[in-house]
Amino acid sequence: MRRWLGSLRILATIAFATLGAQALTLQARAEDQSIVVASTTSTQDSGLFGYLLPIVKQKTGVDVKVLAQGTGQALDTARRGDADVVFVHAKSAEEKFLAEGFGVKRYPVMYNDFVIVGPKEDPAGVKGKDVATALQAIKAKAAPFISRGDHSGTHIAELKLWKDAGIDIGHDRGSWYKEIGQGMGAALNMASASNAYVLSDRGTWLAFRNRGDLTVLVEGDKRLFNQYGVMLVNPAKHPQVKTDAGQRFIDFLVSPEGQNAIAGYKINGQQLFYPDANDPNA
Amino acid sequence: MNDFAQAFETAASLIADFDVELRQIVGVSLGVSLTASFLAFLIGAPLGTALAIYRVRGKAGLVVVANALLGLPPVVVGLAVYLLLSRSGPLGSLGILFTPTAMVIAQAVLGIPIVIALVHRMMVDVWARYGDALLVDGASRFRAAWPIMAIGRDGLLTAFLAAFGRAIAEVGAIIIVGGNVRGYTRTMTTAIALETSKGDLSLALALGIILVILSMTVSALSFLIGRILDGR
């Protein structure tokens, strides 16, 4: 019996060591052409990356590893040097990131819009209203509202909309306002399950498959414009950033080919993101 | 109820189609979890045995600590490993954040206390029965450890499977240290979390069904291998 255990232990150690060595060699080979892009949950949950990245790989040879985290967390990940590129949608947060010296340059890439989604019965009567009136009505009726609460681009946009509607949401919130600290999909799931209102980017909404009684109630307001930007993390702050592959990724996104690819992403014939890399004001 | 029925259908067709993404996430799940549980076992089993058979001052305290670590919150372990492996952290230059290696480390850290606690508990009983006989023959405690582990090998198998169960079910810690990168660090559990957040509940449930089947298969195979090795 002791003999068996001995050889078994040796066998296990060899197997483990081989597995480990294999994994490390595979990793090393793929490393130089692969970058880590810290991005939002909307670019992932909408299916954009699933569609776009094989095209990126084909045209540039760059292997993109996406961390879908929400704008705030994505920028923090980049500040710690754990990402090579950030691709997010909160211009104010992006400009702060640049000002702190963590980014090289901001390139606008594409935009879509936010929509307020809510139960078909619409207890607060917001359908067709402009966004400020809608939010005031939701608060007045104390209708359940789901907030991302996670410093994501959508959360930042939501807070600005409350402010523009003249509401100090931090102070005037009640139990009707539910801050969940999670991604867009989770927020939509919760809104669907509790018949609540929620601010969503249109891309994630179009791809979302658990709608329940939810439907788009407020859209088209200029204040619901949602711009995405991409930045290379500054190698001066983090020398290990893959600047070459990272810049190739960015260059493709803003190139006519990349912009056309983005415009080509549709669900049920509806376009989710609109390219605008050439817009100087974006 | 409709979701459940659809889930079984989806699970069956995913398996029948040999779906490529399914293969990827199954591969990552099994690879990472098996490696992590072997690691946890290789480290934890000798430690648990030593804890049972050696007499040291403060041993009771060590046993309490070992069992208390069973309550280590996985998400806290994930966060700690993340901070260690981050580029801004002490082990950042290794560059293993957001790789399967990081996931193995997090899951091994969670599995080691399980193996130590279970092995210790079982070895205390086995040692009580056979320990004196082994020592009387003149073996040192170190020498006696190996035959005692052989005698208690059924319990060792259970400890390994417990660590594996913990690993294969983990989601929070490995999303933090692995990043849930498609085709690379996405496992069955993180894929379930993702599909749920995309609202595709029946797909998430289908993946869950496949995961349970996988888990049971590993368990059954382990027992089978154990019996073959025993010549039973």
Domains of chain A and CATH, by start: 32-112+227-275 (3.40.190.10), 113-224 (3.40.190.10)
In this predicted structure, what is the pLDDT of residue B126? Answer: 92
Nearest-CB residue to A188 (from B38, B181, B199): B199
- The predicted pLDDT at position B133 comes to 86
CA distance B162 to B16: 30
Residue B57 has pLDDT above 90, yes or no: no
Rounded distance between C-alpha atoms, residue B190 and residue B177, angstroms: 12
Say yes or no: A237 contacts chain B, CB-CB below 8 A. Answer: no
Instruction: Return all residues near A4 (Cβ < 8 A) that are at least 6 apart.
Output: B150, B229
pLDDT of residue A141: 95
- Run of H or E residues at A37: strand A34-39
pLDDT for the residue numbered A239: 94
Q: Report the first-to-last Cα separation within chain A, whole angstroms.
A: 73
For B10-55, how does the pLDDT look when each residue is reduced to its tens digit (9 = 90+)? Answer: 888 888 888 888 999 999 999 999 999 999 999 999 999 999 998 8
Q: How many Å separate Cα A151 from the centre of its chain?
A: 11
Residue B151, classed as helix, strand or coil, is helix
Instruction: Please answer whether residues A238 and A81 qualify as being in contact, where contact means their C-beta atoms are separated by less than 8 angstroms.
Output: yes
In tens, the pLDDT along A55-95 reads 999 999 999 999 999 899 999 999 999 999 999 999 999 99
The percent of residues above 70 in pLDDT, for chain B, comes to 99
Position B187 confidence tier, pLDDT thresholds 50, 70, 90? very high
B141 touches A at CB < 8 Å: no
Task: Give one word for B88, left, alpha or beta, with left for phi > 0 and alpha for psi -120 to 50.
Answer: alpha
* B180/A45 touch (CB, cutoff 8 Å), yes or no: no
Chain B CB within 8 Å of residue A211 CB: yes
Supply the pTM of this predicted model: 0.85
Orientation angle between helical segments B201-230 and B188-197, nearest 10 degrees = 170
- Between these two residues, A77 and B134, which has the higher pLDDT value? A77
What whole-number distance in Å separates Cα of residue B216 and Cα of residue A60? 43
Counting as low any pLDDT under 50, the low residues of chain A are none
Residue contact A82–B201, C-beta within 8 A = no
Cβ–Cβ below 8 Å for B147 and A211? no
| Rounded (5°) CA angle A165-A69-A262 | 85
How many other CB atoms are there within 10 angstroms of residue B16's CB atom? 8
Alpha carbon B65 to its chain centroid, in Å, reads: 19
Strand duo A63-68 + A34-39: pairing: parallel
Q: Would you state the pLDDT for residue A23?
A: 64
A76 close to A156: Cβ distance less than 8 angstroms: no
pLDDT given for residue B118 in this prediction: 95
Per DSSP, the residues of A103-123 read: EEEEEEEEEEEEEEEEETT-T
CA atoms within 13 A on the CB side of A137: 18
CB contact under 8 A, B146 and A27: no
Residue A4 Cα, gap to closest chain B Cα (Å): 8
Residue of chain B nearest A46, judged by CA positions = B198
User: Which of B197, B200, B201 has the highest number of chain A CBs within 10 A, making it the mutation to test binding with A?
Assistant: B197
DSSP annotation of B92 reads: G
* Mean pLDDT of all residues in B145-156: 89
| Domains in chain B with CATH codes | 19-227 (1.10.3720.10)
Q: Which CA distances in Å does B25 have to B161, B180, B203, B205?
A: 20, 10, 14, 15
Closest residue to B98, CB basis, from A12, A65, A183 = A65
pLDDT surpasses 70 at B110:
yes
What is the nearest CA distance from B71 to chain A, expressed in angstroms?
Answer: 25
